Amino acid sequence: MPQRTCVGCREVLPKRELIRIVRSPDGVVIDPKGKISGRGAYLHDRRSCWERGLKGALANALKIELTDEDREKLLVFMASLREGEPTQDIKNYE
């Protein structure tokens, strides 16, 4: 199983246990199935990792400057995550 690093906490896990965020021509996209082509970065499905990632690590990993629209999209998704515990149905997000 391929391993990936969460850009929020730096923990290495199987990539299926992390949420992939992709840089695309249309902006940043959450890729729950891990199939969208483009430069990607991974985060746990924990709010604390998303908070750390949005402070700069995610933008660095994607090699972009997050737009206000991208940041808003990611904050809306982050608000759906539980504090501290993994969410079970992340793969169903669309």
Alpha carbon distance 37, 81 (integer Å): 25
Please give the mean pLDDT across all residues of the chain. Answer: 88
Q: Residue 23: in which H helix or E strand, if any?
A: strand 19-24
| Residue 92 pLDDT | 45
Residue 61: CB atoms within 10 A of its CB come to 18
- The tens digit of pLDDT for each residue in 15-52 reads 999 999 999 998 999 998 888 999 999 999 999 999 99
Residue 14: CB atoms within 10 A of its CB come to 10
The domains of the chain, with CATH numbers, are: 3-82 (3.30.1230.10)
For residue 85, name the pLDDT band (cuts at 50, 70, 90): low
Mean pLDDT within 56-69: 95
For residue 54, name the pLDDT band (cuts at 50, 70, 90): very high
